[in-house]
A and B are shown apart, each in its own frame.
Chain A
Amino acid sequence: MAERDVVFKVLRYKQGETVPHYDTFTVKTDENTTALVALQAIRRDDDPSLTLRHSCHHGSCGTCGMRINGEEQLSCVVNVQELGTPTVVVEPLQNAPLVSDLVVDMAPFFDRYTQPEMPYVRQSEFMPEADVPDGIGHYTRYENCLECGLCVSACPVMGSDASYLGPAAMAAAWRVVAEPRGSDPEFALNWADNEHGCWRCHVAYECTEVCPSDVNPAEAIMSLRGELTKRKFRRVFGLGK
């Protein structure tokens, strides 16, 4: 087993401090060590006051999102030795209020994203008795969204428009339009149709780039634009919906 010492440069911040700073720690790693396991080792062996969020440890819950060497990642599926850098820089997600160290407040994310009209888990469409539309395999499972906030952190528009709906929420909206299964597509379309909605996107595709679950929010935003444009044309020419 190839053991190697890796230096971690971790952003630190506690409530009441004026500015964050960085602390460095050296961690013994092997070929299976993930960034999350390394951070837990730091907390266990070096500094119990290090705060971070984590839960499932396999890229399914979306809790351990952070920026690792400047890129939004789920720390539980980042192999430290495969990063290939002598120093690993770890920072919290952007575009969310910083609570402490690597912990950000997810409440604004959920405020924006939680709409009863956009259900999160539905009956498994794969079961033989499930009542789902034909061609379901064509759609991205929106249930694949982990609510991790990586897309919101990476989005260049989020930083400049505090009211922007953001990629995760609009991906949810598009899923309802594409495959409503009992939900109201009109609600989702109207919700996204404003200057802080799908028209505000700069088409940077950073959200899709960082999505750990292949939900492809950028494509969803483009699809919302396409559908809204189509409907507007039809309305202008009196063709109905």
Chain B
Amino acid sequence: MTSISILCLWLFTGYIMSNYHVVIIGGGGTGGALAHDLALRGLRVTLVERGEVTSGTTGRHHGLLHSGARYAVKDQESAIECIEENTILRKIAPGTFEENDGLFVAITDEDVEYSHAFIEGCAECGIPTQQLSKQEALRLEPNLTDDLILAVRIPDATMDAMRMPLRFFATAKKNGVDIKTYTEVLAIRKQGEAVTGVQVKDHTSGKVYDIGADLIVNAAGPWSGKVADMVGVEVPIRPSPGVMVAVRGRWCNMVINRLNTSSDGDIVVPQRGLSVIGTSSWVVDDPDNLGLPPDHIQAMYNHGTMMMPVLKNAPMRAAWSAARPLIGPRKADADTGRELSRTFKCFDHVDEGVEGFVTITGGKATTLRGMAEAAANVVCEKLGIEEPCRTREAVLLPHTAYYA
């Protein structure tokens, strides 16, 4: 091929690519990371969010960068996703994480019994572990209970639940993504079987208008079922809230986890001058109406105190609920949500007769970049774009750049 024809081809693909327009619905961590990924692949992207960015589930989690150890026994797919993303995020978002590691603490014989499967599971998933004696663990964390038998150190870390994803939004914005906050989707426009855009309302002005799109990605987390209803497709999503309690005082410096199967109140995350105890788990139909069961608040204190007695009298700063977007049958009988996997899935709804509409859901804050990569791969394949993912290496701007 002559150099001129290569140049023409390059100009032509550049022209085509810059004119594909993707609209992302949802300004949580997943939407922000997806906007960043697609922008790096050269697409034109608009992200719409009905409130402030990270105002749904994203900002409300513990602030834990998962090592994956929590899932190493029963949900290894999620565990492997977590440790991979844990390693990548530390590289692309330097300064965002406290390098404080985590401990899984055994305080009963049953916990000690579980530790064998736990250490084995971590090894299978590539999660480094270091077993500590009671004395060694107490030297690191003097507020642990005297009932402590042993502990296992793993590479958890504390992050800021809002500022970590904000770095994706900041970088996406710098790369040309149009982020429209306080902009609610009222309807999804279709022509025949294909979606063609969204009708939105700008709540800062009251203006209602249309945004055209070649492809729409539903990244609305626990709200993704509601968004999918607008085009008449089914997303198997269970909004599964949990209660968290923040107490005053930084009572541990590492992330403290109970060394047993996942249960209520099995984690304490230090967050600045606070300690966050979490979490419970149940399921709801409406992610806008989670409630805050008072017995769950007490349960957090009770379970947290078993690992760290000092928490018993720590004054409460806040208690709140946040809804996980777990993948599971939407209208199934009530369950606790504990048995649902923490992995993520990307759905191309073409099988249900709708073209140009993709949903990415499930997952965790720790896996936001991986979720975005998976969704961006589907988007690019559908649009016939052959651009590799670049988000494993691209270092993100600081969170403050979002406001610049």
Contact residues in A for B138 (Cβ distance below 8 Å): none
The docked-state distance in angstroms from the alpha carbon of A37 to that of B317 is 15
Residue in B closest to A1 when the chains form the complex, CB atoms: B294
Nearest-Cβ distance from residue A108 to partner chain B, whole angstroms: 9
Choose the segment among A118-126, A188-196, A202-210 that binds chain B (4+ C-beta atoms closer than 8 Å): A118-126
The docked-state distance in angstroms from the alpha carbon of A124 to that of B160 is 13
- Is B52 in contact with A60, judged by CB distance below 8 angstroms? no
- Is B95 in contact with A120, judged by CB distance below 8 angstroms? yes
Whether B276 sits at the interface, judged by CB under 8 Å, is yes
CB-contacts of B152-174 with A (<8 A): 158, 160-163
Whether B403 sits at the interface, judged by CB under 8 Å, is yes
Choose the segment among B54-62, B346-354, B382-390 that binds chain A (4+ C-beta atoms closer than 8 Å): B54-62
Chain A residues with a Cβ closer than 8 Å to the other chain, count: 51
Q: A77-B317, A77-B318, A124-B99 are in contact. Are A56 and B162 (CB under 8 A)?
A: yes
CB-contacts of B30-61 with A (<8 A): 51-52, 54-55, 58-60
| Residue among B289, B398, B403 with most chain A CB within 10 A | B403
- Is B204 in contact with A51, judged by CB distance below 8 angstroms? yes
- Is A103 in contact with B204, judged by CB distance below 8 angstroms? yes
Residue in B closest to A145 when the chains form the complex, CB atoms: B272
CB-contacts of B60-114 with A (<8 A): 60, 63, 95-96, 98-101
Contact residues in B for A54 (Cβ distance below 8 Å): 51-52, 55, 59
Whether B182 sits at the interface, judged by CB under 8 Å, is yes
Whether B404 sits at the interface, judged by CB under 8 Å, is yes
Residue in A closest to B293 when the chains form the complex, CB atoms: A32
Q: A32-B294, A124-B100 are in contact. Are A55 and B60 (CB under 8 A)?
A: yes
Which residue in B51, B318, B403 is a CB contact (below 8 Å) of A58? B318
Contact residues in B for A58 (Cβ distance below 8 Å): 244, 246, 271, 274, 276, 317-320
Residue in B closest to A15 when the chains form the complex, CB atoms: B205
Contact residues in A for B271 (Cβ distance below 8 Å): 58, 60
The docked-state distance in angstroms from the alpha carbon of A17 to that of B319 is 37
- Is A60 in contact with B98, judged by CB distance below 8 angstroms? no
Identify the A interface with B (CB < 8 A): 1, 14-16, 32, 34, 37, 40, 44, 48-61, 63, 76-77, 99-100, 103, 106-107, 109-111, 113-114, 119-124, 126-128, 141, 143-144, 147, 213-214
Q: What would 7 more interface pairs be, CB under 8 Å, given A56-B59, A56-B161, A109-B403?
A: A16-B205, A53-B51, A55-B54, A55-B60, A58-B274, A63-B54, A114-B404
A-B contact pairs, 29 of them (CB 8 A): A15-B205, A32-B319, A44-B289, A49-B201, A52-B51, A52-B52, A53-B52, A54-B51, A54-B55, A55-B59, A57-B60, A58-B319, A61-B59, A61-B160, A61-B163, A76-B318, A100-B203, A110-B400, A113-B400, A114-B401, A119-B95, A120-B400, A121-B95, A121-B98, A124-B98, A126-B253, A141-B272, A147-B400, A213-B272
Which 9 A-B residue pairings sit nearest by Cβ, starting from the closest? A55-B59, A100-B204, A57-B320, A58-B318, A126-B253, A15-B205, A58-B246, A110-B403, A61-B162
